[in-house]
Amino acid sequence: MVDADTFLYEQLAAELGGAIERGALRPGDRLPSVRRLAEERQVSVATVLQAYLRLENTGLIEVRPKSGHFVRRRTELTAEPRAPRQCATPARVSVSDAVARILEALRDPAVVPLGSAYVDPSMLPVTALNRMLAQLAREASTAGARYDAAPGLLTLRRQLARRAVDWGVPLREDEFVTTIGATEGLSLALRAVARAGDVIAVESPTYFGVLQAIEGLGMRALEIPASPRTGMDLDALDEALRAGGVKAIMVQPNVSNPLGGVMPDDAKERLIKLARRHDLPVIEDDVYGELVFDGSRPRPLRAFDDDGRVLLVGSVSKTLAPGYRVGWIAGGRLHDAVVRLKYSQSLACPTLTQMAVAEFLGSGGYDRHLRRLRSHLAGQVERYRDAVIEFFPEGTRVSAPRGGFVLWIEMPGGVDSLVMLDRAVARGVVIAPGPVFSARNRFGNFVRISCGMPWSPKAEAAVKLVGELACELSGKRSRGLRAA
Rounded Cα–Cα distance for residues 437 and 203 (Å): 9
Q: Does 134 bind its own copies (CB under 8 A)?
A: yes
Coil, strand or helix at 308 = coil
Distances in Å between the Cα of 457 and the Cα atoms of 112, 429, 443, 451, 463 are 12, 14, 29, 13, 10
Q: Given candidates 1, 4, 196, 426, which one binds its own copies under the rule CB under 8 A?
A: 196
CA dihedral 176, 178, 179, 183 (to 10 degrees): 40
Q: How many residues bind its own copies (CB under 8 A)?
A: 67
* Of 208, 211, 255, the residue nearest 407 (C-alpha): 255
Residue ranges in 423-452 that form contacts with its own copies under rule CB under 8 A: none
Query: Residue 359 — φ and ψ, nearest 5°?
Result: -65, -40
Q: Does 202 bind its own copies (CB under 8 A)?
A: no
Q: Given candidates 157, 191, 299, 402, which one binds its own copies under the rule CB under 8 A?
A: 191
Q: Does 126 bind its own copies (CB under 8 A)?
A: yes
Cβ closest to its own copies, residue 339 vs residue 407: 339
The one-letter code for the residue type at 42 is Q
Cβ closest to its own copies, residue 88 vs residue 196: 196
Residues 6+ apart with CB under 8 A from 152: 176, 177, 178, 179, 328, 348, 349, 354
Residue 419 CB, shortest distance to its own copies, in Å, is 22
Residue 178 CB, shortest distance to its own copies, in Å, is 12
Residue 212 CB, shortest distance to its own copies, in Å, is 4
Cβ closest to its own copies, residue 79 vs residue 134: 134
Asked if residues 298 and 290 have their Cβ atoms less than 8 Å apart, the reply is: no
Q: Does 1 bind its own copies (CB under 8 A)?
A: no
* Of 278, 280, 332, the residue nearest 302 (C-alpha): 332
Stretch of residues binding its own copies (CB under 8 A), selected from 57-65, 124-132, 384-392, 437-445: 124-132
Asked if residues 221 and 199 have their Cβ atoms less than 8 Å apart, the reply is: yes
Q: What share of the chain is helix, strand, coil (3-state, %, to 5)?
A: 45, 15, 40
Q: Concatenated DSSP letters for 129-151?
A: HHHHHHHHHHHSTTGGGS--BTT
Cβ closest to its own copies, residue 77 vs residue 429: 429
Q: Given candidates 50, 51, 148, 206, which one binds its own copies under the rule CB under 8 A?
A: 148
x/- binding map, residues 150-179, to its own copies, per CB under 8 A?
Answer: x----------------------------x
Residue 438 CB, shortest distance to its own copies, in Å, is 16
Q: Does 121 bind its own copies (CB under 8 A)?
A: yes
**H or E stretch including 250?**
strand 246-251
Rounded Cα–Cα distance for residues 255 and 375 (Å): 15
x/- binding map, residues 225-264, to its own copies, per CB under 8 A?
Answer: ----------------------------------------
Cβ closest to its own copies, residue 107 vs residue 477: 107
Residues 6+ apart with CB under 8 A from 396: 77, 388, 389, 409, 410, 411, 412, 470, 479
Asked if residues 311 and 338 have their Cβ atoms less than 8 Å apart, the reply is: yes
Looking only at Cα atoms, what is the longest distance across the chain? 68
Q: Given candidates 147, 244, 279, 457, which one binds its own copies under the rule CB under 8 A?
A: 147
Q: Given candidates 26, 82, 146, 277, which one binds its own copies under the rule CB under 8 A?
A: 146
Rounded Cα–Cα distance for residues 439 and 203 (Å): 10
Asked if residues 450 and 106 have their Cβ atoms less than 8 Å apart, the reply is: no
Asked if residues 431 and 408 have their Cβ atoms less than 8 Å apart, the reply is: no
Q: Does 124 bind its own copies (CB under 8 A)?
A: yes
For the range 106-110, what are the long-range contacts, defined as Cβ-Cβ under 8 Å and sequence gap of 24 or more?
106/430, 110/428
Q: Given candidates 106, 400, 419, 483, which one binds its own copies under the rule CB under 8 A?
A: 106
x/- binding map, residues 349-378, to its own copies, per CB under 8 A?
Answer: xxxxx-------------------------
Q: Does 346 bind its own copies (CB under 8 A)?
A: yes
Q: Does 145 bind its own copies (CB under 8 A)?
A: yes
R_g of the chain computed on alpha carbons = 23
Residue ranges in 298-327 that form contacts with its own copies under rule CB under 8 A: 317, 321-325
Cβ closest to its own copies, residue 99 vs residue 171: 99
Residue 323 CB, shortest distance to its own copies, in Å, is 4
Q: Does 218 bind its own copies (CB under 8 A)?
A: yes
Cβ closest to its own copies, residue 349 vs residue 409: 349
Q: Does 100 bind its own copies (CB under 8 A)?
A: yes
Residue 386 CB, shortest distance to its own copies, in Å, is 27
Q: Does 207 bind its own copies (CB under 8 A)?
A: no
Rounded Cα–Cα distance for residues 240 and 233 (Å): 11
Stretch of residues binding its own copies (CB under 8 A), selected from 28-36, 79-87, 100-108, 468-476: 100-108
Cβ neighbours around 433 below 10 Å, total: 28
Footprint of its own copies (CB under 8 A): 96, 99-100, 103, 106-107, 116, 118, 121-122, 124, 126-127, 129-131, 133-135, 137-138, 141-150, 179-181, 183-184, 187, 191, 195-196, 209, 212-213, 215-216, 218, 317, 321-325, 336, 339-341, 343-353
